[in-house]
Amino acid sequence: MPQACAPALTRLAGPASLTDQVVAAVREGVRTGTLRPGELYSAYQLAEQLGVSRSPVREALLRLAEAGMVALERNRGFRVVVPGAQEIAELFHLRLVLEAEAARRAAARRDPALAPALRAELGAMRAAAAGGDEPRFMRHDQRLHGHVLAAAGNRRNHALVENLRDVTRLLGASTSEVSRSLADIADEHLPVVEAVERGDPEAAAAAMRAHVEHTGRLLVTQALRERRDPRDPEDLWRSVAGCPSQPPRSPPCWHPSC
How would DSSP label each residue in the chain? -PPPPPP-PPPP-SSS-HHHHHHHHHHHHHHHTSSPBT-EE-HHHHHHHHT--HHHHHHHHHHHHHTTSEEEETTTEEEEPPP-HHHHHHHHHHHHHHHHHHHHHHHHHT-TTHHHHHHHHHHHHHHHHHTT-HHHHHHHHHHHHHHHHHHHT-HHHHHHHHHHHHHHHTTSSTTBTTTB-HHHHHHHHHHHHHHHHHT-HHHHHHHHHHHHHHHHHHHHHHHHHHTT--S-HHHHHHHHH-S-S-GGGSPPP--TT-
In a domain, 1, yes or no: no
> What is the C-alpha to C-alpha distance for residues 5 and 40, in angstroms, rounded to an integer?
9
Mean pLDDT for 39-60 is 93
**What pLDDT is stored for residue 208 in this prediction?**
98
Contact 200, 193 (CB under 8 A): no
Q: Phi-psi category of 141—alpha, beta or left, where left has phi over 0 and alpha has psi -120 to 50?
A: alpha
Do 154 and 199 fall into the same domain?
yes
**What pLDDT is stored for residue 16 in this prediction?**
55
Do 94 and 204 fall into the same domain?
yes
pLDDT tier, 47 (very low <50, low <70, confident <90, very high otherwise): very high
Do 39 and 130 fall into the same domain?
no
**What pLDDT is stored for residue 109 in this prediction?**
96
In a domain, 8, yes or no: no
Domain interval for residue 126 = 85-249
Q: Count the Cβ atoms, other than its own, within 10 Å of residue 104.
A: 22
**What pLDDT is stored for residue 252 in this prediction?**
35
Do 73 and 95 fall into the same domain?
no
pLDDT tier, 4 (very low <50, low <70, confident <90, very high otherwise): low
Which of 69 and 144 is assigned the larger pLDDT? 144
Which of 80, 98, 129 delimits the end of a domain?
80
Mean pLDDT for 194-213 is 97
Q: How many domains does the chain have?
A: 2
**What pLDDT is stored for residue 82 in this prediction?**
79
In a domain, 13, yes or no: no
Do 190 and 204 fall into the same domain?
yes
> What is the C-alpha to C-alpha distance for residues 84 and 75, in angstroms, rounded to an integer?
25
Mean pLDDT for 138-145 is 93
Do 240 and 112 fall into the same domain?
yes
In a domain, 95, yes or no: yes
Mean pLDDT for 134-159 is 92
Which of 61, 80, 99 delimits the end of a domain?
80
In a domain, 33, yes or no: yes
Q: Is the pLDDT confidence value at 187 over 60?
A: yes
Do 22 and 142 fall into the same domain?
no
Could you tell me which of 41, 1, 46 has the C-alpha nearest to residue 22? 46
**What pLDDT is stored for residue 1 in this prediction?**
54
In a domain, 224, yes or no: yes
CATH of the domain at 208: 1.20.120.530
Question: What is the pTM (predicted TM-score) of this model?
Answer: 0.73
In a domain, 153, yes or no: yes
CATH of the domain at 53: 1.10.10.10
Q: Is the pLDDT confidence value at 223 over 90?
A: no
Which of 80, 106, 134 delimits the end of a domain?
80
User: At 20, which amino acid appears?
Assistant: D
Do 52 and 94 fall into the same domain?
no
Contact 215, 175 (CB under 8 A): yes
In a domain, 63, yes or no: yes
* pLDDT, tens digit, 9 for 90 and up, residues 32-46: 778 888 899 999 999
Do 108 and 233 fall into the same domain?
yes
